Amino acid sequence: VYKNFGNAVREALGRDVTLVETDHFLIWTDWHPRNRPRLAQWGEAMYTALSRQFELDPSEQVFLAKCPIFCFRNKARFLKFARKFDGQDVKSSIGYTRSIERNGHVHVALYRRGSTEADFDRFAGTLVHEGTHAFVHRLYSTRLIPNWINEGLADAVAEQVLGDSCPNAENAALLARQYVRYDWPIEGLLHSVGPIEIHQYALAHSVVAYLQSQGAKQFAEFIRSLKEGNSVSFALAAVYDGMTLAHLEARWRASVRAAQQQGTQGGLPWKS
């Protein structure tokens, strides 16, 4: 079925859109052949990292079959794909994940801006970020989870997979220090369910990374509880020994202060 989807995209957008198939992904791309192996490498590295995070066998299929990813080399094709196949206007985006709760379908679309190594690094960050959304959508159930957790986890996984070529941990640590220094509240973020602003992604990353730092098993159970339909408050209390949202904010602030005193990015487990 998904290969038929890809073939329909080829017919609509151009026969130069070529399939790169990996163990877990069907990647359709108009990239130059010499650059296509990077797409497979980034996708599978992301899948391995998430499987490790949630203690799954990497050979296990989280997706219905293999996840379709559409990678374009220019914005015009990306916009045409989004309009024709998803009915979306994404002029302000460089990538998105289409997640349908009722049937579990998910696919990813994104484009690369430029051809420098820095452009490839930025694209890789978007690919891993959006691919993480796709993985999490299928993990345990197809129920959607609060957006701040989803975005924070996606940023954290991009950092883990891409390392020094990804600035997410540095951005998260910098913003967290500002929130703690000026005592800016994060209660609104923690209570939110729907979409968050782009400038909040780094903050969400910092809070999610704090939860991850408390143990991989606990974090996996926290996500499982959310995917069962429980609220953030319920899942926190059940998994983290009665932790409330107020406790989470206080402990996160304490971890940021401690990290600053130690000169580290504490609470951000992907940076050594």
What global pTM score does this model have? 0.94
> Where are the CATH 3.40.30.160 domain residues in the chain?
2-138
pLDDT (0 to 100) of residue 266: 54
Tens-digit pLDDT profile for residues 72-85: 999 999 999 999 99
Tens-digit pLDDT profile for residues 219-261: 999 999 999 999 999 999 999 999 999 999 999 999 999 998 8
Average pLDDT, the chain: 95
Q: For residues 127-147, b (16+ Cβ closer than 10 Å) or e, as one string?
A: bbbbbbbbbbbbbbebebbbb
CATH of 2-138 given 3.40.50.150, 3.40.1390.30, 3.40.30.160, 2.60.40.10: 3.40.30.160
Q: In this model, does residue 264 exceed pLDDT 80?
A: no
pLDDT average, residue stretch 17-33? 97
Q: Compute the distance between CA of residue 179 and CA of residue 166 in angstroms, rounded to an integer.
A: 22
Residue with tokens 């994404």: 90
Q: In this model, does residue 271 exceed pLDDT 50?
A: no
